[in-house]
Structure 1
Amino acid sequence: MWRLFAAVCALVAGTAAFLEQISSDCTCPGEIAAIKDELMKIRGNMSMSSSQAALISQLQANLTTLQQTVHNLSRVTHHPQAVAFTAQLTKSLSNIQEGQEVMFDKVITNVGHGYDNNTGNFTAPYNGTYIFFLTITSSDIHKASFRLVKNGHRILNVNSIPTTAHNHTIPETNTHVVTVNMHVGDKVWAVNQGGFDAHEGLTGNLLTSFSGHLLQPHFRSTSPTVV
């Protein structure tokens, strides 16, 4: 049993080198699963002290973390990891209500297939740090106040207020940017704040857009505990 412990400890302690050497034909996931099965057998077939039981529990937790790490790194290493999108609004919108979402209907770029023009949502395909840009153009009459939200929580605000010059009202365009950490499945979308009035508007004609891309993938979110 202690030889097994030593083997697992060495595997956990050498995680960094182990991950750097991962390749498409890596057998690491199978080896980790086999060690986990062996630990389960030991725990079921042997009586042990509380400290030994605690050690096995910690080893099992470490192995679970390693499995997830290998899975995430394998996805990034052996599949296209570029993620980038730009979607634009073709038709102007008026009387936009507070909380109304915007669906940017013209997709210019959608590498990684994270953006859905049917919902206006971007869904992260990988763990990582992402950058998002929200550009809004007010109507020639009404102000606009919008935000980006991640899983329903605000991460960015942007306002546009039309200006008047020579007796003409001129729409205003503003862009704000934010970087945010994302996990697989996290969603980001644009929603109206309704900060000015109940009749806010946006100019379409590709003057209002939502863009983003993956800056840096995250291979793992936690580090295993060395025992």
Structure 2
Amino acid sequence: MAKVCFTAVAAMGRNYGPFDENITLEFSKVITNIGHAYDPTSGIFTVKDAGYYYFSFSYQAPKTHMSGLSLAKNNSAIVKTFDHSKPGSQYCDNGGNSTILKLSAGDRVSVQLPAQCCVHAYEDVTTFSGFLIAGE
């Protein structure tokens, strides 16, 4: 079985979003990328070997905007996390989610920033990770 795992961080040095449409979030600071299936310039993990994969993502965001992320397989949302900007004592929102997916070679997995949402893309608080659990 091939060794495939990665962790990357959104490192734009500022808040990212909100935008008028969903966009693929680029996690440009790569911590680990064994198998080189994650592309930090596009934010897309491309499956080379069919199998079962585990993915997780987390974020921190300012309370001034809605926040959230979605994990997408071939541009279709699989799991999501959101928080609406509500006044309160907290300065930041935090969220995350994870999933196990059966994937085929060529499938593409990414994290989407939904329209009108914002996340922190600095200080290593917004992350995307994945690894191969078992081959097909």
- TM > 0.5 fold call: yes
**RMSD, matched Cα:** 1.5
Q: Which runs of 4+ in 1 moved over 4 A?
A: none
Q: Which has the larger radius of gyration?
A: 1
Alpha-carbon distance in structure 1 between the residues aligned to 2:48 and 2:26: 20
Alpha-carbon distance in structure 2 between the residues aligned to 1:98 and 1:138: 18
Gap runs ≥5 in structure 2: none
> Aligned residue for 2:8?
87
Gap runs ≥5 in structure 1: 1-75, 219-227
Aligned-partner SS, 1:136: strand
TM-score scaled by structure 1?
A: 0.55
Aligned-partner SS, 1:164: coil
Q: Which of the pair is proportionally richer in helix?
A: 1
Post-superposition Cα deviations, 1:132-166, rounded to whole Å, max 9, x if no partner, equal 0011212241121221111111111111345621x
Alpha-carbon distance in structure 1 between the residues aligned to 2:6 and 2:19: 24
Matched residues, percent identical? Answer: 26
Higher relative contact order (CA 8 A, sep 6+): 2
> Aligned residue for 2:98?
177
Aligned residues: 132
1:99 and 2:16 aligned: no
Quote how far apart the aligned CAs of 1:130 are.
0.2
Alpha-carbon distance in structure 2 between the residues aligned to 1:161 and 1:136: 14
Alpha-carbon distance in structure 2 between the residues aligned to 1:138 and 1:144: 6
> Aligned residue for 2:35?
112
Q: Which of the pair is proportionally richer in strand?
A: 2
Alpha-carbon distance in structure 2 between the residues aligned to 1:94 and 1:217: 36
Post-superposition Cα deviations, 1:157-209, rounded to whole Å, max 9, x if no partner, equal 111345621xxx51121110000001111100111223xxx3x2111221001
Alpha-carbon distance in structure 1 between the residues aligned to 2:20 and 2:67: 11
Alpha-carbon distance in structure 2 between the residues aligned to 1:161 and 1:84: 32
What does 1:130-145 align with in structure 2 at a 5 Å threshold? 130-145=53-68
TM-score scaled by structure 2?
A: 0.89
**2:129 alignment partner, one of 189, 208, 211:** 211
> Aligned residue for 1:154?
77
